[in-house]
Structure 1
Amino acid sequence: MVQMVSDQDSGGINLDLSKFSLRRGMDDMEVEEEEEVPKHLNTINSSGGFLVVSTDKLSVQYTSVNLHGHDVGVVQANCPAPVKRLVYYFEIFVKNAGAKGQIAIGFTNEHFKMRRQPGWEANSYGYHGDDGLLYRGQGKGETFGPTFTSGDTIGGGINYASQEFFFTKNGKLVGTVYKDVKGPLFPTIAVHSQNEEVNVNFGQQSFVFDVEAFVLEERMRQQMTIEKISLPRNISHWIIRSYFLHYGYQDTLNSFDLASRSTLPPIPVVQENGINERGNTYALRHRKILRQLIRSGELDSVFGKLRDWYPQIVQNESSTICFLLHCQKFIELVRVGNLEDAVTYARAELARFFGITSLASLLQDCIALLAYEEPMKSPVGHLLHMSQREVVADAVNAMVLSTNPNMKDSQSYLQSYLERLLRQLATSCLERRSLHGDQGETFQLNRVLQSRNGGKR
């Protein structure tokens, strides 16, 4: 008969496994579904009677003779511009300016009337070649840039950070304009007089405009804004120090303190900045020993230490923390190839957790290790990596912190100050994106670290 697992671990504390996989699984958390990007022109949604699209769908020609303003040859890209990025950009090459050079480049929404120049209708913007004017949602243009004609390369882009459209000519920035349209926008080109012909480049070839330098400049502008913000002296040092304290990295903490002893003020300065180290020093030596034992795979010793030091943590054998520890013991038996003992152990200790929905995924993955001749190379081989030991060590560390009778914040045992700061940063970035119609870059820690180190992503 299967016993139901309690949601309570000790002292009324709820242990949520996802809290621990987030810290160690930051890379997985940052993986996003790849956005579709424009690759060619949409021959279905176009004013087909006035233009001819090439077979590769990357060039258009105006073949008619326009009789009035509605005889525009307009064509959108096959999909909207992607939005989960800092900048989107595309270019056109004017192969032939035709009779009047009435060529336009811009952005339009999905409801745009396909017999109008981009910028002439609401929710559209267009830079026009015959007069160099910018049109934004109405038939009257405004002074913007130079005209363009045969042989010119014109670009259109969206800077999601500044919420601006920008346009280029022959590799140079022409100008920018505020983007007050929130919904999906399609890269759009238009031709409007006989023999006008345009080739479009959605990134299949190198751009004439150095868009990478443009992105780098925007990032540097953002960084300069950040660096102007005043912070308490040495606050980053104390935030990092609190991380070592929180997770019981006592040896690393000692080395860190030794290296910074001659350059930083005494510890009391952290109190002024809202960092309370007293709580995180609780049971530091015990937490260090427990982490070392888990990292070494010595689960029997872990159980023994917990029973001696913190019996309340393991008194409920159906608790989530006991489940994690028993799973890790099973994993360690598989690691050394002791499959017979692993099966016996699973029957004795893991059977009680079968049927518990919240634990089913990890439990199934653990048992699945028995199905493979080479478990390390299997789809569940990640359980044999050091990162899984760290997940268990984090959970045990949190449970020990939760026994601190002087703990004021019932959630402080779960995360360090550094992690709470990162979560606040991620939340702020999400809020900013929501204000811009969920457009712009999402927060990715690895990208931020790489940019600080001069890397590219």
Structure 2
Amino acid sequence: MEVDPRLYEQISVNDNDIHNIVMSYLVHNCFKETVESFIACTGMKQPSDHLEDMEKRKRIYQFALEGNALKAIELTEELAANLLEKNKDLHFDLLSLHFVELVCSRKCTEALEFAQMKLTPFGKEQKYVEKLEDFMALLAYEEPEKSPMFHLLSLEYRQHVADSLNRAILAHANHPTYTAMERLIQQTTVVRQCLNQEHGKDGPPPFSLKDFLRS
């Protein structure tokens, strides 16, 4: 049983609410130029300091994504003092990005020295031991890209760290860590799952965003 579109198609949605949802997504992902165009088209008001903060986050995100973790750390400490000191997991992940860049550049001696100075101290906590072993194992391979830990060298891993850093900076500034659009999709998915469980085989099918967008 699919939810009858007639049950919700007549519900009016305020344009300002839609604009705010779109704006939330654009600001979260640091699409500054698009934000400025969107503001000009809709007449929305956005504080200038919000745009400045977005530009700083964008630079930090890009540095992390490119593997320039030391620059990302430097700018993060300028924008959000003590954030990395309080978030050791994130700090470790950023330092590990720099280690990986050294390994990929075949600077093994420099990578080992960096690991001993910056990463090894994390080994005092058990939760970092396995991660440390995985990263250090990269040094044993002439072609680390072909090692069992090749995923640590991937763009996906850098993007994961960059996304985590962006969310942490937003949280530090008391901003939502997820966009309104993401939260709406999450909530809709949960509601549909609950309906499906409540009504069993007679209930609506599991929610599929892809199918919903095609409907």
Q: Which has the higher contact order (CA 8 A, sep 6+)?
A: 2
Cα pair distance change 1:428/1:389, threshold 3 Å: same
1:356 to 114, 125, 143: 125
Identity within the alignment, %: 25
1:254 and 2:42 matched:
no
Report the Cα offset of residue 435 of structure 1.
0.5
Please tell me whether the aligned partners of residues 282 and 401 of structure 1 are also in contact (alpha carbons under 8 angstroms): no
Structure 1 match to 2:71:
301
Please tell me whether the aligned partners of residues 245 and 253 of structure 1 are also in contact (alpha carbons under 8 angstroms): yes
d(CA) in 1 for partners of 2:94 and 2:160? 10
1:266 to 32, 36, 43: 43
Higher strand share: 1
Please tell me whether the aligned partners of residues 299 and 328 of structure 1 are also in contact (alpha carbons under 8 angstroms): yes
Q: TM-score, normalised by structure 1?
A: 0.40
1:325 to 70, 76, 94: 94
1:240 and 2:17 matched:
no
Higher helix share: 2
1:381 and 2:150 matched:
yes
d(CA) in 2 for partners of 1:442 and 1:430? 6
Q: Deviations over 1:188-211 (max 9, x none)?
A: xxxxxxxxxxxxxxxxxxxxxxxx
Structure 2 match to 1:312:
82
2:197 to 434, 437, 443: 434
d(CA) in 1 for partners of 2:5 and 2:96? 45
Please tell me whether the aligned partners of residues 321 and 396 of structure 1 are also in contact (alpha carbons under 8 angstroms): yes
Structure 2 match to 1:342:
111
d(CA) in 2 for partners of 1:330 and 1:277? 38
Q: Which runs of 5+ in 1 are unaligned?
A: 1-161, 163-217, 269-275
What amino acid sits opposite 1:380 in the alignment? M
RMSD value, Cα:
3.4
Cα pair distance change 1:224/1:348, threshold 3 Å: farther
Please tell me whether the aligned partners of residues 246 and 281 of structure 1 are also in contact (alpha carbons under 8 angstroms): no
Please tell me whether the aligned partners of residues 375 and 381 of structure 1 are also in contact (alpha carbons under 8 angstroms): yes
SS of 1:418's equivalent in the other structure is helix
Q: Which runs of 5+ in 2 are unaligned?
A: none
Choose 1 or 2 for highest CA Rg: 1
Q: TM-score, normalised by structure 2?
A: 0.77
d(CA) in 2 for partners of 1:364 and 1:240? 42
2:168 to 376, 389, 399: 399
The size of the alignment, in residue pairs, is 214
